[in-house]
């Protein structure tokens, strides 16, 4: 199929490259000429594991980038809208979606064959039907369901695993207003054999995305609330509590041969210093705001957000137990990205922790395997020493705050054991064994 993808951000570029790798002819479109040139040279403008290799394999063959959306739409059977939908505090901003819909609609005047327009951006329920469809009809002077189809196809890509998530999907949600639209959207995924497809209407497809992210965020805040209570009561380790919970066969089913399957969602049932990133915080808040507009007070999701907002401060509370006055005290902060495998720091729990330490006058020695450039930008104006390695970050520190679950931090106990006076290690991800360092504190312990 010939596919135009509007927007070469994280979702658009990964989708475009992967669809080309699966045999479709793809044109990735972006307003930014520099980005387009980079893509055409085989250089991804964003970092994502495996993306560069896949881009280099396909560019100039089944894939090209362009700034001309009109030409791309006219030449394609299907357009994917993959532009950003930032949350402004009260609603998602759909101005980029509107702009792209206008351009696609206008281009459809010049296309005689049926064309399918699909929203891939995360948008609140009703956006495809109530915002995108009327713009397309108005600009094209044509009728949805007759001359063109409209659909919604949410993405479920995790940053750092986006290529493998796209190439090996757990489900595909095909939202369309009629059978023809759904058939055409499903045909895009025909090369992904054996994957379960949910065929539904666009509003349901939009809601599936928000419900999925909200549930995962809820699991994290639930675990953090239980973990905080365990810590307050004393002599209870939330990690053992959650292991006891996971062993319920409804969370980890026992197969006929006696083996137990532990779903990866169980990691969301671990206490920690909170969730961040470009999706969970934004999507939960956007759904709450949307719910309120529909007369629902969304009490549970409100609590998910407020538990999460308090969670980074738990790191500081644990530090208080050992070093009450941090002025002039050297503290290592390990992990700045919101999660491992990315340099993305958006809504990272490390941000409020570093800001608090800086306000208190601590000497901050920060280390992250790949997010240091991003951190310099985020913390511009703050006096932070960026260490070139984990070992260098530990030089002379009295405390270590572990904020991100990077694999290499598993080597921390070996480094601490060689230090003359062992610092307190505050494990915000509960990734180290409690007895692996002389002075250990962990969330939920
Ligand atoms: C999330 C969802 O997992 C994807 O399914 C979804 O497609 C994506 O949002 C999106 O909407 O685009 P992502 O934000 O990349 O993906 O990251 P996750 O790996 O889910 O982590 C989100 C946050 O939760 C991170 O801050 C992470 O540290 C935290 N987390 C994750 C935990 O605290 N515990 C966990 O077990 C897993």
* Planar angle of CA 125, 210, 306, nearest 5 degrees: 120
The residue whose CB lies within 8 Å of the most ligand 1 atoms, and thus the one to mutate among 226, 245, 339, is: 339
Write the CB contacts of 309 (distance below 8 Å, at least 6 apart in sequence): 274
Ligand 1: which atom is nearest the Cα of residue 349?
A: 26
Gap between the Cα atoms of 405 and 403, Å rounded: 7
Active-site positions?
279
Which residue's alpha carbon is nearest to atom 23 within ligand 1? 275
Gap between the Cα atoms of 440 and 68, Å rounded: 57
Return the structure tokens found at 325.
Answer: 């006055």
The residue whose CB lies within 8 Å of the most ligand 1 atoms, and thus the one to mutate among 215, 220, 276, is: 220
| C-alpha to C-alpha distances, 268 to 18, 311, 406, 407, nearest whole angstrom | 27, 15, 16, 17
Gap between the Cα atoms of 9 and 241, Å rounded: 40
The residue whose CB lies within 8 Å of the most ligand 1 atoms, and thus the one to mutate among 277, 284, 353, is: 277
Predicted TM-score (pTM) of this structure: 0.96
Return the structure tokens found at 430.
Answer: 């509960």
**If DSSP codes are grouped into helix, strand and coil, which group holds residue 155?**
coil
Ligand 1: which atom is nearest the Cα of residue 11?
A: 12
Query: Are residues 177 and 129 in contact, defined by beta-carbon separation less than 8 angstroms?
Result: yes
Ligand 1: which atom is nearest the Cα of residue 273?
A: 33
**If DSSP codes are grouped into helix, strand and coil, which group holds residue 217?**
helix
Query: Are residues 444 and 239 in contact, defined by beta-carbon separation less than 8 angstroms?
Result: yes
Ligand 1: which atom is nearest the Cα of residue 267?
A: 36
CA of 158 to the centre of ligand 1 (A): 6
Residue 176 buriedness (CB in 10 A; 0-12 / 13-18 / 19+): buried
Which residue's alpha carbon is nearest to atom 28 within ligand 1? 339
CA of 280 to the centre of ligand 1 (A): 7
- Cα Rg, the chain, nearest whole Å: 24
CA of 429 to the centre of ligand 1 (A): 14
Q: Where are the beta strands (DSSP E) in 362-428?
A: 363-367, 384-386, 399-402, 424-427
Return the structure tokens found at 285.
Answer: 């808040």
Which residue's alpha carbon is nearest to atom 20 within ligand 1? 158
* Site residues for ligand 1, CB cut-off 6 Å: 122, 155-159, 213, 216, 220, 267-268, 270, 272, 275-277, 279-280, 338-339
Which residue's alpha carbon is nearest to atom 34 within ligand 1? 268
Which residue's alpha carbon is nearest to atom 10 within ligand 1? 279
The CB density around residue 204, as the number of other CB atoms within 10 Å, is 15
Give the residue ranges of the chain where pLDDT is below 70: none
CA of 242 to the centre of ligand 1 (A): 19
For the chain, the farthest-separated pair of C-alpha atoms sits apart, in whole angstroms, at 76
Q: Which domains does the chain have, with CATH numbers?
A: 2-200 (3.40.50.720), 309-442 (3.40.50.720)
Looking at residue 47, its pLDDT comes to 83
**If DSSP codes are grouped into helix, strand and coil, which group holds residue 150?**
strand
Query: Are residues 63 and 17 in contact, defined by beta-carbon separation less than 8 angstroms?
Result: yes
Looking at residue 54, its pLDDT comes to 98
Gap between the Cα atoms of 149 and 280, Å rounded: 30
The residue whose CB lies within 8 Å of the most ligand 1 atoms, and thus the one to mutate among 49, 169, 213, 349, is: 213
Looking at residue 266, its pLDDT comes to 83
Which residue's alpha carbon is nearest to atom 37 within ligand 1? 268
| C-alpha to C-alpha distances, 55 to 8, 77, 210, nearest whole angstrom | 12, 22, 29
| C-alpha to C-alpha distances, 271 to 34, 231, 410, 428, nearest whole angstrom | 42, 11, 18, 8
Looking at residue 267, its pLDDT comes to 86
Ligand 1: which atom is nearest the Cα of residue 213?
A: 2
In this structure, what are the phi and psi dihedrals at residue 134, rounded to the nearest 5 degrees?
-60, -35
């Amino acid at each position: 199929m010939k596919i135009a993808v509007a927007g070469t951000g994280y979702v658009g570029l990964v989708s475009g490259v992967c669809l080309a790798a699966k045999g479709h002819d793809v044109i990735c479109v972006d307003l930014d000429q520099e980005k387009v040139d980079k893509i055409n040279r085989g250089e991804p403008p964003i970092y994502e594991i495996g993306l560069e290799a896949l881009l280099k394999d396909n560019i100039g063959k089944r894939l090209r980038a362009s700034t001309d959306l009109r030409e791309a739409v006219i030449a394609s059977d299907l357009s994917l809208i993959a532009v950003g939908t930032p949350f402004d505090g009260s609603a998602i901003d759909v101005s980029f979606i509107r702009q792209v819909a206008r351009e696609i609609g206008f281009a459809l005047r010049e296309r005689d064959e049926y064309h399918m327009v699909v929203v891939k951006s995360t948008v609140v329920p009703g956006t495809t039907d109530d915002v995108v469809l009327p713009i397309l009809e108005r600009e094209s002077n044509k009728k949805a369901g007759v001359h063109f189809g409209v659909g919604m196809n949410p993405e479920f890509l995790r940053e750092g695993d986006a290529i493998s998530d796209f190439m090996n999907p757990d489900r595909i949600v095909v939202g369309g207003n009629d059978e023809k639209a759904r058939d055409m959207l499903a045909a895009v995924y025909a090369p992904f054999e054996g994957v379960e497809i949910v065929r539904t209407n666009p509003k349901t497809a939009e809601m599936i995305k928000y419900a999925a992210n909200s549930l995962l965020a809820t699991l994290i805040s639930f675990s953090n609330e239980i973990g905080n209570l365990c810590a307050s009561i004393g002599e209870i380790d939330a990690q053992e509590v959650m292991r006891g919970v996971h062993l319920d066969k409804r969370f980890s089913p026992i197969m006929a041969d006696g083996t137990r399957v532990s779903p990866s969602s169980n990691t969301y049932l671990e206490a920690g210093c909170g969730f961040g990133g470009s999706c969970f915080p934004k999507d939960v808040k956007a759904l709450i705001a949307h719910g309120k507009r529909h007369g629902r007070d969304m009490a549970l999701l409100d609590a998910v957000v407020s538990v999460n907002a308090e969670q980074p401060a738990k790191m500081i509370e644990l530090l208080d137990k050992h070093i009450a006055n941090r002025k002039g005290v050297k503290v290592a902060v390990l992990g700045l990205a919101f999660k491992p495998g990315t340099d993305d720091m958006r809504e990272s729990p490390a941000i409020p922790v570093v800001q608090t330490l800086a306000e208190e006058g601590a000497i901050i020695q920060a280390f992250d395997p790949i997010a240091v450039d991003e951190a310099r930008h985020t913390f511009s104006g703050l006096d932070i020493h960026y260490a070139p390695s984990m070992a260098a970050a530990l030089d002379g520190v009295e405390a270590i705050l572990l904020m991100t679950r990077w694999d290499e931090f598993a080597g921390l106990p070996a480094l601490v054991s060689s230090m003359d006076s062992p610092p307190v290690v505050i494990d915000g991800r509960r990734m180290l064994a409690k007895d692996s360092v002389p002075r250990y504190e962990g969330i939920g312990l």
